């Protein structure tokens, strides 16, 4: 249900909490507890595209940290932030299962492996950042 909300709104709106609580006959605190437990659910809308950069060990072994830092610096934002023109939100992800072709990233539902700065620039360009 939360996945469906996030899919249609891009986030789980605060206003949905009492509605869900009513529907499911649960307390608001309980619903809130569920939403906040999971990394996937956002409380605020994201940019038009979501770029996830893998931070797991395998990607670190191939320079994933430097790549992530360079990307954030280029965009002038931090983790979970959205660029000022609203196009891209950057989120960390723990393992995309692409560890044999690290470092990895995912732009919306599209995966990318062996990402270097040039490849990342291309991805960002496509997203319009």
Answer yes or no: are the C-beta atoms of 102 and 67 closer than 8 Å. Answer: no
Cβ nearer to another protein, comparing 45 with 97: 97
* Interaction residues for another protein, span 53-72 (CB under 8 A): 56-62
Q: Report whether the peptide linkage leading into residue 83 is cis, meaning its omega lies within 30 degrees of zero.
A: no
Binding of another protein by 41 (CB under 8 A): yes
CB of 122 to another protein, least distance (A): 12
Does residue 15 touch another protein according to CB under 8 A?
no
Give the number of other Cβ atoms within 10 Å of residue 54's Cβ.
27
Whether the Cβ atoms of residue 93 and residue 109 lie closer than 8 Å to each other: no
Per CB under 8 A, contacts with another protein among 88-107 are 93-102, 104, 106
Token output for 55: 């931070």
> What is the nearest approach in angstroms of another protein to the Cβ of residue 84?
26
Closer by beta carbon to another protein, 1 or else 19: 1
User: Between 23 and 85, whose beta carbon lies closer to another protein?
Assistant: 23
Q: How far apart are CA 119 and CA 17, in angstroms?
A: 40
Q: Are the beta carbons of 32 and 46 closer than 8 angstroms?
A: no
Chain positions contacting another protein, by CB under 8 A: 1-3, 33-34, 37-41, 56-62, 93-102, 104, 106, 109-114
């Amino acid at each position: 249900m939360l996945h469906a909300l996030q899919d249609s709104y891009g986030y789980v709106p605060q206003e949905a909490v009492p509605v869900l609580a009513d529907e499911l006959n649960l307390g608001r605190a309980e619903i809130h507890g569920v939403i906040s437990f999971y990394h996937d659910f956002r409380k605020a809308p994201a940019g038009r595209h979501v770029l996830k950069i893998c931070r797991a060990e395998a990607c670190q072994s191939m320079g994933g940290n430097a790549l992530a830092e360079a990307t954030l610096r280029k965009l002038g934002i931090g983790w979970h932030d959205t660029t000022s023109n609203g196009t891209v939100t950057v989120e960390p992800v723990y393992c995309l299962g692409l560890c044999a072709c690290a470092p990895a990233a995912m732009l919306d539902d599209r995966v990318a492996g062996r990402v270097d700065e040039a490849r990342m620039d291309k991805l960002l360009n496509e997203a319009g950042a």
